[in-house]
Copies of this chain bind each other. A is one copy, B any other.
Amino acid sequence: MGKPHQQRKQEIIQSTLALAAELGVKKVTTQAIADRVGVAQATIFRHFKTRDAIFAEAIAWLASQLFLVLSDCFQSQQDADQRLQRLVHRQLQFISEHKGLPRLLFSDRLHLESPALKQAVQTIMQRYTREVAELIEEGIDRGHFRQDLDAMQSAGFITALIQGLVMRWSIFNFDFDLEQEAKPLWAFIDSALR
Instruction: Give the total of A residues in contact with B, Cβ under 8 Å.
Output: 44
Bound together, the chains give a CA A120 to CA B110 distance in angstroms of: 24
Contacts of A105 in B (CB 8 A): 167
A residues 145-194 with Cβ under 8 Å of B? 146, 150, 153-154, 156-157, 159-165, 167-168, 170-173, 184-185, 188-189, 191-193
- Select from chain B the residue with minimum beta-carbon distance to A193: B191
Copies of the polypeptide in the assembly: 2
Question: Is the pair B23, A112 in contact by a Cβ cutoff of 8 Å?
Answer: yes
A122 at the interface (CB under 8 A from B): yes
- Select from chain B the residue with minimum beta-carbon distance to A25: B108
Contacts of A27 in B (CB 8 A): 112
Chain A positions 18 through 60: 1 when the CB is less than 8 Å from some CB of chain B, otherwise 0: 0000011111000000000000000000000000000000000
A106 at the interface (CB under 8 A from B): yes
Bound together, the chains give a CA A185 to CA B125 distance in angstroms of: 19
Bound together, the chains give a CA A113 to CA B164 distance in angstroms of: 21
Bound together, the chains give a CA A173 to CA B122 distance in angstroms of: 10
